[in-house]
Amino acid sequence: MSTPQLVVHRDKELMAQAAAARLITEVVDAQAARGSASVVLTGGRNGNGLLAALGSAPARDAIDWSRIDLWWGDERFLPEGHPDRNVTQAREALLDLVPLDPARVHAMPASDGPYGPDADAAAAGYAAELAAAAGPGDRTGVPEFDVLMLGVGPDTHVASLFPESPGARETELTVVGVHSAPKPPPTRVSLSLPAIRAAREVWLLAAGEDKAKAAALALSGAGEVQVPAAGAYGRSRTLWLMDAAAASALPRELYPPASA
Ligand SMILES: O=C(O)[C@H](O)[C@@H](O)[C@H](O)[C@H](O)COP(=O)(O)O
């Protein structure tokens, strides 16, 4: 488990631009070191803000877009092309603008896809896709993602793992079907905390005052079933990328010495 590091930016626009620049560097480094990169995307305003910032970043073409695998941390279980699907929003924000290899864009199944309206079967299907991409050393059943990004809900959820829900308690499966989620839509598919923790780097994106309490709770040693964001960390690095409003309730001893 890596101890969380905090980076606090002036506002959410600067946070998105700085996180996009950081992601470019991480991907370029991963491609140089290992030939390709794997990145897990998140839904939500902050995740999409980062993708949009990446789309307009001057250095975006430093990435070899044909050598990157994209995965999702969670998906709203809706029909293909639905405007609320995380993949639809990611396509609009960035993916349609860059020359990705379509075979390496691993969207989670849609509710009218191969598994029909069965979110648990869709979760099992995605788990199988992840397992097939995992290397022999990846004992968790998922690849060692280079960067896995997560938004944070005001209730401390990450991906679609909500406080006190079965998904937040999952210790065996890498992907879960989520039913009766408190944030619409109620049916979702999500990576579990053990799958999230297989990533080298986990980045949590939190902007806005409504995230302040959630961030303070997650960073104060809360349990992961009650506070799922507290259970999201990477093997080598856990990074909280925040704006000043989201950082405003952090205990004094956690607040980083200098704001970026
Ligand atoms: O499907 C979703 O909605 C997300 O994946 C969810 O986990 C999101 O990231 C958080 O709710 C934060 O969302 P915001 O960035 O919009 O606050």
pLDDT tens per residue, range 172-183:
999 999 999 999
Q: Which residue has the tokens 């699907």?
A: 85
- Mutating to test ligand 1, I would choose from 15, 45, 165 the residue with most ligand atoms within 8 A of its C-beta, which is 45
Which pLDDT score is estimated for 260? Answer: 47
CA distances from 22 to 18, 160, 193, 197 (A): 6, 25, 24, 20
Q: Tokens at residue 251, please?
A: 């205990």
Which pLDDT score is estimated for 256? Answer: 62
Q: Does residue 160 fall inside a structural domain?
A: yes
- Tell me the pLDDT tens digit for each residue of 98-120: 999 999 999 999 999 999 999 99
The answer to whether the CB of 74 is under 6 A from ligand 1 is yes
Q: Does residue 259 fall inside a structural domain?
A: no
CA distance 131 to 190: 15
Coarse DSSP helix, strand, coil percentages of the chain, rounded to the nearest 5 percent: 35, 20, 45
Which pLDDT score is estimated for 101? Answer: 98
For residue 153, the CA-to-ligand 1 centroid distance in Å is: 6
Supply the range of the domain harboring residue 154: 4-254
Which pLDDT score is estimated for 173? Answer: 98
The answer to whether the CB of 46 is under 6 A from ligand 1 is yes
Which pLDDT score is estimated for 84? Answer: 98
Q: Does residue 132 fall inside a structural domain?
A: yes
For residue 152, the CA-to-ligand 1 centroid distance in Å is: 6
CA distances from 89 to 2, 16, 51, 127, 211 (A): 31, 16, 10, 22, 22
Which pLDDT score is estimated for 257? Answer: 54
Q: Does residue 260 fall inside a structural domain?
A: no
Q: What is the mean pLDDT of residues 137-150?
A: 95
The answer to whether the CB of 153 is under 6 A from ligand 1 is yes
Q: Tokens at residue 245, please?
A: 């409003």
Q: Whose CA is nearest to atom 3 of ligand 1?
A: 44
Looking up residue 114, the CATH number of its domain turns out to be 3.40.50.1360
Q: Answer for the pair 230, 217: CB distance below 8 angstroms, yes or no.
A: yes
Instruction: Tell me how many domains the chain contains.
Output: 1
CA distances from 201 to 22, 88, 192, 212, 240 (A): 12, 25, 16, 22, 11
For residue 188, the CA-to-ligand 1 centroid distance in Å is: 12
**ipTM of this predicted complex?**
0.96
CA distance 209 to 214: 10
Between 13 and 2, name the one with better pLDDT: 13
